[in-house]
Structure 1
Amino acid sequence: MSAQAQMRALLDQLMGTARDGDESRQRVKFTDERVCKSHLLNCCPHDILSGTRMDLGECSKIHDLALRADYEIASKERDLFFELDAVDHLESFIADCDRRTELAKKRLAETQEEISAEVAAKAEKVHELNEEIGKLLAKAEQLGAEGNVDEAQKVLQEVEKVRTKKKDAEEEYRNSMPASSFQQQKLRVCEVCSAYLGLHDNDRRLADHFGGKLHLGFIQIREKLEQLKKTVLDKQERRNQERLKRREEREREERMRKRTRSRSRERRRSRSRDRERERERRRRRSRSSSKDRRKSRSRSRDRERRRRHRSRSRSQSRPRREHSHRSSRDRLNGRAESRRSGDRESGEL
């Protein structure tokens, strides 16, 4: 890649698709189905294994560093859950790799000479020590390239210790089987990248394998897959907790609304009862007032009747008294007249 292309890629990675105001690039969003979500998360096997003997070629989906920059900016503001797509992609790829590994093991079992379980265990021990030596040598080379010379020397000292263990393991393995069989190359399939490893591979071959781009690429993919799985689980757990919290808040709000409605209904009932009691008191007062008025009217009518009766009685009794008075006077006058007449008659005699 030229220096100019590297600068463009760096600007894309830093500023995204809008760095030049190019509308044609902005038409494709990072959320588009055509965009590789594994690329956005920097774990697409097509990128990682590029240039190895297992180069997968160009990815069928869009790879763009500017879109990755857009995604990284957007992912800081909200969860997009692109990890789910990446997990599905990487799981499918690793499953294919594991199938190839099992198939290679099966072919080796069919082609290599049968050995006893004891000899197989000793051969496996040699393979394990070879793998440890290869990893340590690759680590020492990496530390040396980074300038950590002291750390690299410590790792090389560990390599010497493992080499001693390997020499002893090879001696045990050689003594457990015929010399003709020992000279045959015993192969083993690498559990990480499914490549073949020889029992008698030298340190350089082991270092090249375990420090090579293919093996390290598969390690990166497998580690990224485990990391994404953990991220997905954490996000799902956090999402479930948030959903549970929202549900609890809704339930609490609903309980509060129910209590509020219950209190409102109780207050309405209380006010209704108060109004009913007030109406009842008014009705009782009204009935009492009506009774009092009726009693008052009745008493008034009784008084009026008595008054009228007395008035009629007085009216009727007055002529009788006058007649009685006149009769009494007449009788008195008659008696007086009779006496006077008697007196006159007595005088004449």
Structure 2
Amino acid sequence: MSDTVRETPAADAENPVLKRLSTLDRFLPVWIGVAMVSGLLLGRWVTGLDDALAAAEVGSVSLPIAIGLLVMMYPVLAKVRYNELGHVTGDRRMLGTSILLNWVLGPALMFTLAWLTLPDLPEYRTGLIIVGLARCIAMVLIWNDLACGDREAAAILVALNAVFQILAFAVLGYFYLQVLPSWLGLDQEILQVSMWDIAKSVLIFLGIPLLAGYLTRTFGERAKGREWYETTFLPRIGPAALYGLLFTIVLLFALQGDTITNQPLDVARIALPLLAYFALMWGGSMLLTKVLGFDYQRATAVSFTAAGNNFELAIAVAIGVFGVTSGQALAGVVGPLIEVPVLVGLVYVSLWTRRFFTEDAISRSIPTGA
């Protein structure tokens, strides 16, 4: 969630991965755990908290929670190099592979895992499907950098995902939550959610910070240059993403305390398909890019982009559509708690796989003029 890894040469793969994470990122699972416990205690000690939070709302979301969601999204979107989005066409194979993995295979895999592992828990199942639709635009840059992947390729794919989510999230959400289960004849509770409900949440909690991030980068670089923007400004605002996430988690767990304490095994059941998803998406992506002849650097960028998810957006949409006390929101919150240690482990696995990428693959994967 914080801005960057420590200043360490990307090629120095022998340094322990955890030492190259900032302090905030290294202990992210700890901070999330502390936020969860704090929320549970807050819910027990403060009476009438739900009424107080509902006093003012933004798009059917409590104002304090809406502020937390917007704060955690803005720094992430301020990092994206929007003026490089068009450069991705220089490697159309990388572009096509990323779109296939992120917007076809990823959501379909999460949909399958959610139905296989949570057939009797429709709220959590729906929350995981929403997580599968929210493609990574944040910490993938950190994992890619730690694994010595192609930084520019990762930045371009992140920018592509950020824009694509505005265009496709609502449509895909309606398809996977309403249309596909009906086609497959899956036994589900009637889900009263429209495409507009999803689109409205995306426009508020992704559209507003996306516009703010774009304008900040545009005018910031114009005023003081890219070097100042990325080495001075971004590190200053980067931690706000984590603070916004932790603030939101505290309030979520304060409102969901009874459900969580009475059903602790539900959290473990949510974690199981997430673990399977990260392993299958990352492993399948590395295998596919290897078969297609990508070099290690671009294979890594594509694979981590495919494996990671934008939990900030998933949480925002779940809260906006289903409510802050919903099981869908809880499923989104469990996500980053599982993602961080798993993807740190996959960084080590990724560095080990470098031996399987040959010079021939490197030369084939870079198109002429790219």
Q: Which bin holds the TM-score, normalised by the shorter protein?
A: under 0.3
Structure scoring higher RCO (CA < 8 A, sep ≥ 6) equals 2
TM-score norm. by structure 2 comes to 0.23
TM-score norm. by structure 1 comes to 0.24
Larger Rg: 1
